[in-house]
Structures are given as C-alpha cells and as structure tokens.
A and B are shown apart, each in its own frame.
Chain A
Amino acid sequence: MAPPSSDARSTAPQAGFAFILKRSLISAAIALALFSLMIGVRTEAGPTGVLIYWTRFGDLALLVGAVFIGSIAVELARAFVGPVDIAGRMPEALREILAALQRFLVPALLAFAVLIPVIFYQQRYILDLSILVLTYVMLGWGLNIVVGLAGLLDLGYVAFYAVGAYSYALLSTTFGLSFWICLPLAGILAAFWGMMLGFPVLRLKGDYLAIVTLAFGEIIRIVLLNWQSLTGGPNGISGIPRPTAFGIPLTAGADGLAARLGIPFSPTHRIVFLFYLILALALLTNWATIRLRRLPIGRAWEALREDEVACRALGINTVVTKLTAFALGAMFGGFAGAFFATRQGFISPESFSFQESALVLAIVVLGGMGSQLGVALAAIAMIGGFELFRGFDQYRMLVFGMAMVLLMIWRPRGLIGHRAPSVYLERREAIAADLVKEGHG
C-alpha cells in the first residue's frame, strides 16, 4: 500500500517516486500481458469466410501507455490525498449541507419535473429523455421495495417489466381494451407472477436468491423469444395502440383532443401526455412506498432486512411479508412495463435482458439505504450518463460496468448515507449507514 502522505513528503521524494514508478511499470506490464492478444490482434471473418487477423500494435501501445500513466496518477493521488475511504462515510459538514438541501431538493425537483414539458416544449429530445429517466425512476422505486426495504436480492426484476409490457400488448391488441383497463390488469398479472416466482424461492438467502431470480428472468426472456404463437417471438408485438386522454384520442382528427380544445394539433401533445402519465405513475409508486413504510407491513419489511430470525421470534409471518414485497414490487414493475409498451407502440424480447435488471439494481443500490430520493437521483445520473454515450453504444456498457465497480469501491452503501425512521416519539433523527443492515435475502 502507498505510504501515508506525511511520509511521502518527509522522506526523500526519490524513494517515493521510485516506488510509484515500479508499481506503474508492473501495472503496465500486466496490461501488456492482458491486452497483447485481445487488443494487439484483431480477428474477423475474412472475405472467404475463414477467420483472418491483423495486428494493432499501435492501439496496444497506446493502451499500455495509458495504463502506465493512469497508474502513476492514481498512486500520486493516493500518496498525496490519502487512502480511499472505503467505508464511504461522508464528512460531517457535507452531510449537514445535504440534509439541509434535502428539504429543498425534493420539492424543487418535483416542481421542475412538473414543468419540464412547459420548459422544453420545443425540444423533443429532452422530452423523450425525461420520459426515459422517469421510467427508470419508477422501476427503481419499484425494485426499492424488494431490495431496499425488504432486503431481498432480486436480479430478475426485468421479468415483471416484461410481463407488464406483454400483458398490456396482448390485452390491447387481442381484446381491444383501453389503456386504463389494461394498465391495472397488467399490474395485477405482474403481481401474480411476482407471487408465483417469490413463493418457491423464499427460503433462499443472499447470493442464492439473487441467482435464482436471475434464472427466472432469463427463463421469461427465452420463453418470450420462443413462444412465437403467443408473443410473436423475436419480432415481438407491434401495433400497440397509443393511450388516449381518458377516451379522447390524441390525434389530428376532428374528435381529437386538440380539436376539442380548439388548439392546433401537434405530435408533441402525445409526448406531453405520456410524460405526465409516467410522472403520475412514478409519483404513485413513491406515495405508496412512503405510506407503506409507515404501516406495519413496511416496518416488517425493514425489520426483515435487519434480522429475519428476530422477526420470526416476534410472530411475524416472514413468508407472507416477503411475498407481499415481491408482489408489490412486481406490480409497479408491471405498470412501468405497460407504460413502456404503449409509449413504444412495439415491444420485443430484446428490451428485456439481464442488462436491464442489472441497471435497475445498480440504480437502487447506488441510491442507497432504501431512500426514495437517492433512487431518483441515481436514476437521473445513470440514465443521463448513458445518454451521454449515445454515439458509442459499444463503449456504453463497458463504461457502465467499470462505473459499477468503481462506485462499489467508493460508496458501497450508495449516495444517501443514512436512513430516516418511519415513526418517532420526539424527534426524527437519521440513522447512520453502518448500523443499517443490507439484508441476507
């Protein structure tokens, strides 16, 4: 490990630098060994179909050089700034500032969100992006019930998203039911599915629960891909009807909303409507979560996360408690899925891969401590960050993966470092992160 800062400066600087140099050379050598084949050589099917290769020593040299320099930079930073605080505790002053900000932050964010379509009416791109962000915020809030509150490690959340989307698609295209009927139905189906999935796996703990939920998610995806007669297979379902404003279509015709209101029609109307729809759905999820947290069921979820054995000793039916967490989380995922289907007009199994589950889980964990605000901020950061990489699709997931690793090393408990109690006698005091358990599944 690097010597503490005072030593690095008091002893002869050359000794410190020689050490850093040696470490960086070793890092560069490792990089060379790792990348010489994967980067130095590029294979591809040649014109005759046989695999050929060419060398990219230039790229290799660049990368190794970058590793070398980066390593020096990291070591220098470590020597002068001190070791990374792995406990992830925020300095006291910063925490107090954040607490004060939090009181303003939430209403400010809410007001801003409501006004987005007004402010950005002309910028279709921003409206679309906000809808995407809000969808993930809702998914994050939904998964938060399962992972953040109840401490159940769910790596297959995308399954409920998919059930909601496909249920909506099938119900609306086969039976022609309106969005407002299909939406609750999609949620109920997803909740039902959540219970089906949850029931057999309740006894599993931690990592095992995680991998089983992952397996479930994959099974759903494969079934969606292959059950052509029901789901359309890889082609998915298209022609999903767009939502109506409570029965009034949002089209340019004479019976459209624009005509009725006497304003000129614009395709942006539908986008605005979709925006407020997802905002309403997300806020519903938020309201439900906050209310539930203050009710016995919510407290039982958090107690479950803290210590399941103690819960059983207090007469709490842990099976039912876990199932309700699963079912409710699934329901909100289903709502989000239904929204997704109607927004896109077309769905296919491609949108429901494990990557989505991992992304939503990352949002929840990054948010931290089951905090609603944290999840929202994390969703904005992650999806916003994703968008910045729009042009570089291939590098997007690579950077996402690295970001996940780095974030876990830096702040394993997430952005929000404390938990607010759900009931209090005199005063409401936040509880520090290191006391709050993460749950064993």
Chain B
Amino acid sequence: MDYFAQQLINGIALGSIYGLIAIGYTMVYGIVGMINFAHGDIFMIGGFVALISFLVLVSIGITAVPVVLLLVLLVAMATTALYGWTVERIAYRPLRHSFRLAPMLSAIGMSFVLSNFSQVSQGARIKSVAPIITGGYTLFERDGFAVRLSNMQVFIVLTTLALLLAFSWLVARTRLGRDMRACEQDQTMAALLGVDVDRTISMTFVIGAALASVAGLMYLLYYGVVDFFMGFVAGIKAFTAAVLGGIGSLPGAMLGGLAIGLIETFWAAYFSSEYKDVAAFSILIVVLIFLPTGLLGRPEVEKV
C-alpha cells in the first residue's frame, strides 16, 4: 500500500512533466493540423538551456535557490520560446499550404537538426547535476518503508498548476486566446475577419515551446540529467498523452499526461523497467485503435 502510494506520487510528478509537453503538441495540432515532430526536441533544448544557465548563474555567485530557479526559468522559457518560433518560421511556415507529407518530413528533419545540434555543441555524453531542490516530507512510515513527498515534486505540481491556470485564462479570456480558437475552427474566415493568422500560429508555437522548456527544467531537476536523446522518447510519450486526452483539448492533454506518467511509473515499479517505454508506446497504439478521439475529444463524423 505504501509502495503504491509512493508510486502514485512519483507518477503524478512525472505525469505533470509529460502534460506540459503534451499541451504543446495538442495546441499545434489543433491549430495547424500537424504533429510537430520536433516538439520533443524543443523540450530537450529547454532542459539543456536550463542546465547551462544554472551552471553559469551558480558560478557567478547567485546561489540562493529560489532566485536561481526563477532566473533559470525565465531564461529557459525565453530562449526555448525563441527556438520554437525559429523552427516554425524556417521549417513550417513556408510549407503551410503545401502537400501533406512535406511539413511532416520537414518536422522530422528539424527534429534531427535539434537533437544533433545539441549533440554537436554540447557533446554526446549525458550531463548530470547535483540535486538542486532537496528535502521533502515523509508522509507516513510503516514497516520501515517511508512514503516521501519531496520538495521537488511539490514544486513540479505547483508550477504545473500555476501554468495551467495562467494558460487556461489566456485561451479563454485574452484576445490571443480568442484568435487561437478562431484559427483552430476556420483559418480562412479568421483571416477575413482581421485575425493575424501568421502571428497567432507563431504565438501558439512559442507558448508550446515555453511550456516544454518548463518541463525540461523540471526533468533536469527531477532526474538530475539531460542528454541529447531525451526529446525523442519523451516526445512520443507526450504525444501519446495528447492523443489519450483527446487531441485539441487542453485539459485532455494534462489528463493524458498524468495517465501516461502514472502508467509508466506503475509499470516500471510492478513489472519491468526495461519495457516501460514499450508500455507507453503500446498505449498509444491501443488508444488510437479503440479510442481515436481520446478521452475528452470530439467525435468526428466522416463527411462524404
């Protein structure tokens, strides 16, 4: 029971990270109808930028944890958002009205560019840091097994909640949010009504990238490592989460993220950890076959 509770806590923390990445996938798919294959690698870049800025800040003497965290968060979000913007501008916008396969291959190409860029610029080995946020609470203890809630996990969940709230407010109440929803429904009409479609799409990518960078920072803090390949697997899992929750649905993305995080954690804890990725991928397949619109998605009737 305690083991279960611990895994539950771990799963929620991991799931929050996946959820943040999943939001980026679902937003982009909703607005331009493409799977951004490079999004996972944006997450990876976010992790790297967080790592580097952390190292630099600490070395110039800023060591107070909250200050460092805040600065790293801002720098990572800003830089990664710029990466997201640049990728969209270079690789996707020219192909927006092109044939089906072109944006997909362009995205795959961009994914290779990003992951190899970090490999080339930072070396191929994984980078690790000492834990930055330490400590936690022991929730309860029985038979020598303690169920712990680390400060790290609290930070992850709280930050995720805060971002979710901010983001939901953005989509529901601001002009940008309204423009995004309009473009999702009918781009041509939105353009005719004066919405700057290019800018709205760019902002969608930018916000998605910023959220992914926060996920990257959290991943770094939680696992203490980053490597150039983490975007690929995390990307597929996050996309699974987006699909599970219903592509195009924001609460769905978060819900899906939590589900994937929990499933992965429990699978690794109770079955085998080598095949935990297989579990996540299999869920993707199962969901798409049996529940193609996901948990919270809208059913699509084929127009003949």
Measured CB to CB, the residues of A under 8 A from B are: 30, 33-34, 37-39, 41-45, 50-53, 84, 86, 153, 200-201, 203-204, 206-208, 210-212, 214-216, 218-219, 222-223, 225-226, 309, 354-355, 358, 361-362, 365, 394-395, 397-398, 400-405, 407-409, 412-413, 438-440
Contact = CB atoms under 8 A, between A and B. Distances in A.
B99 interface: yes
Given A37-B49, A44-B123, A362 B117 contact: no
Interface in B87-140: 90-91, 94-95, 98-106, 108-125, 127-130
Contact of B106 (A43, A52, A206, A405): A405
Contacts of A33: 79, 82
Given A203-B292, A439-B100, 19 more contacts: A30-B82, A41-B52, A41-B56, A42-B122, A53-B59, A200-B285, A218-B233, A219-B282, A354-B232, A398-B120, A400-B109, A401-B113, A404-B109, A405-B109, A408-B105, A409-B91, A412-B102, A438-B101, A440-B100
A31 B133 CA distance: 32
Contact of A394 (B95, B116, B285, B302): B116
B219 interface: no
Judged by DSSP, the binding face of A is helix
Interface stretch (B8-16, B170-178, B180-188, B272-280): B272-280
B282 to A, nearest CB: 7
Contacts of A405: 90-91, 106, 109-110, 113
B34 A218 contact: no
A86 B98 contact: yes
Interface size class of B (residues with CB under 8 A): 35 or more
A210 B82 contact: no
A378 B172 CA distance: 48
A43 B82 contact: no
Nearest to A38: B121
Nearest to B290: A200
Contacts of B282: 215, 219
B221 to A, nearest CB: 14
16 contacts: A38-B45, A43-B51, A43-B127, A53-B52, A207-B33, A211-B239, A212-B284, A215-B284, A216-B281, A219-B278, A222-B275, A400-B112, A403-B109, A404-B105, A405-B109, A412-B101
A33 B277 CA distance: 35
A407 B240 CA distance: 29
B301 to A, nearest CB: 13
A401 B236 contact: no
B53 interface: yes
Nearest to A88: B98
Contacts of A204: 288-289, 292
A38 B112 CA distance: 16
Contacts of A404: 105-106, 108-109, 112
Contacts of A211: 35, 236, 239, 284
Interface string B35-73: 100000000010011011101100100000000000000
B275 A438 contact: no
B151 interface: no
B98 A39 contact: no
A395 B116 CA distance: 7
A408 B95 contact: yes
Contacts of A309: 302, 304
A218 B106 contact: no
B83 interface: yes
A397 B112 contact: yes
Given A207-B35, A210-B104, A226-B275, A218 B281 contact: yes
B168 interface: no
B225 to A, nearest CB: 10
Contact of A201 (B51, B277, B288): B288
Given A204-B292, A365-B105, A401 B111 contact: yes
A45 B284 contact: no
Contacts of B288: 201, 204, 208, 212
B104 A153 contact: yes
Contact of B278 (A39, A223, A354, A355): A223
